[in-house]
Amino acid sequence: MKTALFPGSFDPVTKAHVDIIKRSIGLFDKLYIGVGDNSSKKGLLTIEKREQMLRAVFKDEPKIHVVAYEGLTVEFCKSIGAQYMIRGIRTVSDFEYEKAIAQMNHSLAPDIESIFIVSKPGYSSISSTIVRDILRHKGDVSQFIPKEALAYL
């Protein structure tokens, strides 16, 4: 069984995340969405709220399992039996950052393969960080967030 993890903070989940996840589903038998707590980012939503939001967005997809986790992502991959880690790439700087992480992860867990999926051009400017800023200033984020997630914001 091919199992993958798509890790992230998903604070909040965006249409760009959804696009990467939907494009990944057909590649795997089981796809975990790992909701991690990124200590370097100032969070907006609780981990529990992010899990609920993702479950609402993917409620009709039986291959997807939403799980919160702490610690090293490669260790979480091992604990759930994931042989693959999915990462979305929007920009060249994303690639450089993700490449460095993938190389370190490979050193820690050579049996877990990182797979990069490039975002569609229309989603390359959407990030959770920008969406959080818009929300903090009472702006309308409906064009950036899946409709199922709006109730959680």
Q: Would you name the residues annotated as active-site residues?
A: 17, 41, 90, 128
The neighbour count for residue 81, using CB atoms within 10 Å, is 11
The C-alpha R_g of the chain, in whole angstroms, comes to 15
The neighbour count for residue 41, using CB atoms within 10 Å, is 12
Say which residues have a Cβ less than 8 Å from residue 132's Cβ, sequence separation at least 6.
11, 12, 42, 44
- Asked whether the beta carbons of 144 and 15 are under 8 A apart, the reply is yes
Burial code (b: 16+ CB inside 10 Å, e: under 16) for 95-105 equals eeebeeebeeb
Q: 35 — phi, psi (to 5°)? A: -90, 105
